[in-house]
Amino acid sequence: MPGVAARKNQERKRENAMEQPAADDYAKERYGVLPLIQSQDKPDRVLVRVKDLTGEKADEVVWVRGRVHTSRAKGKQCFLVLRQQQFNVQALVAVGDHASKQMVKFAAKESPQQKPISQDDQSPWNELILLPSPCFHGINKESIVDIEGVVRKVPHKIGGCTQQDVELHVQRIYVISLAEPRLPLQLDDAIRPEVDGEEEGRATVNQDTRLDNRVIDLRTCTSQAVFRLQSGICQLFRETLIQKGFVEIQTPKIISAASEGGANVFTVSYFKSNAYLAQSPQLYKQMCICADFDKVFCIGPVFRAEDSNTHRHLTEFVGLDIEMAFNYHYHEVVDEIADTMVQIFKGLQERFQTEIQTVSKQFPCEPFKFLEPTLRLEFPEALAMLREAGVEMGDEDDLSTPSEKLLGRLVKEKYDTDFYILDKYPLAVRPFYTMPDPKNPKTSNSYDMFMRGEEILSGAQRVHDPQLLTERAMHHGIDLEKIKAYIDSFRFGAPPHAGGGIGLERVTMLYLGLSNVRQTSMFPRDPKRLTP
């Protein structure tokens, strides 16, 4: 049969190629290490994204740039997994017309010593000179390579890759940037699902190792998915509020006095005096309302000098802040904020399913549930639910973290939602600038919002009358001189207004069902971590 004869002929050709001495490397110009890219040339070439390698491109010759995730030699061929962000594809280097034995060994990290190509030699690779080092022994994991290959459909799905229906048959492979041979952590270990009762010999990567080597850890498909989804939260927050008529503002982060009137601030040297890092954009949001901007929001860093080493506290985080004038009732603002969160949740479901599923492979979690309109409970209702569950609390006590989590479970059982609003907090547990409830002197016009039983927003109607604000500050024992600028901002007429601040990292953590906010902070800052 012609097919059999052709295969035998091809096999003999491969065997002959394998027997050729190292000096007779017919593919020597098809692989190697490129010189440092210093913008010395601009090849007329289109690099195809790994995520776009599908069956529709079958039999096309493409160029792809990616990282070598793994390499595995098998006889006269080498299988590579080429990774680009959260996507990967299998690539095959096999001895034949385009690849020699030496080229296969090069790809398999078993390359023999090679003589550097002279700077006077010319390479067909757009006239760039290949520079294999005399001691170069193949391609280390995480090295960046350019590959020319033919896209081929595969008879069986490739289970370990995102691109399961195709593979690349490599014709050229060039190292763009060579990684060091020893990695501080293995990416396969870093994405291994966590299970109860770790199996003996089952390698995982602990949190400190991840954070100490954050650049490597951020390359994992899980981390890529987490922070792409987090970017989506910011995008949806901004889109939704702009559509609602809000104006985005940028507020100072270096301030002259503690913005919350408390002591948990970072002091910084400011020329011949001291200043503070802003605990929130509170003062400036409210000043913008007084300046008739009506509806404002900002996205920016927030600093808290709290020595809290918990799963949900950071000393620096990203605040998604909202402030809005209203006509007659602060619930006008509550409804706007709740609807904004709902639009974010819906947008994440519609646009980021790939990221959600990627994260859930390593950290399984039930899909996030929410109601439309959002469930709103008053504090006494929550108190009754907790007391019925055995929690002892006074009428004016604040919720502890365990009580918040228990309430979240009770709400989920009763209302089947992971997102809800708790309204009408006791006045005694809220900041001085919170408006008292006109019907009950022990209650305030304040609210928190919760995801999976943890607070993600704290907000209130603000006291916009300078006399009442002064009285409330004195009641809390606050030095009036330190908040003089804050009180003065209301002396020239201020509309009734309310708002709140949302922690971006917490929203990301709780939406994805993760266990620690450090997983959703790109370079986390806490009382024990100031690097990288």
- Is 306 annotated in the active site? yes
- Is 72 annotated in the active site? no
Which of 455, 464, 489, 521 is the catalytic position? 455
Which of 30, 452, 506, 518 is the catalytic position? 506
- Is 137 annotated in the active site? no
- Is 304 annotated in the active site? yes
174 close to 130: Cβ distance less than 8 angstroms = yes
Q: Report the distance separating Cα 463 and Cα 485, nearest Å.
A: 15
E-assigned strands of 95-143? none
Contacts of residue 406, Cβ cutoff 8 Å, sequence gap at least 6? 386, 389, 391, 453
Q: How many CB atoms lie within 10 A of CB 250?
A: 10
Which of 30, 169, 172, 312 is the catalytic position? 312
Coil, strand or helix: which one is 364?
coil
Which of 137, 219, 238, 313 is the catalytic position? 313
Contacts 24+ apart (CB under 8 A), 513-519: 513/360, 513/363, 513/365, 513/366, 513/368, 513/452, 514/226, 514/359, 514/363, 514/365, 515/311, 515/363, 516/207, 516/311, 516/312, 517/311, 517/312, 517/313, 517/314, 517/317, 518/207, 518/211, 518/314, 519/226
Task: Report the C-alpha dihedral over residues 375, 376, 381, 382, rounded to 10 degrees.
Answer: 80
- Is 123 annotated in the active site? no
E-assigned strands of 262-361? 267-270, 273-277, 295-303, 316-325
- Is 372 annotated in the active site? no
Which of 14, 67, 98, 304 is the catalytic position? 304
Helix (H) or strand (E) holding 340: helix 331-351
- Is 169 annotated in the active site? no
Which of 110, 239, 306, 378 is the catalytic position? 306
Which of 223, 403, 446, 458 is the catalytic position? 458
Cis peptide before 532 (omega within 30 of 0): yes
Q: What residues are labeled active site? A: 304, 306, 312-313, 455, 458, 506
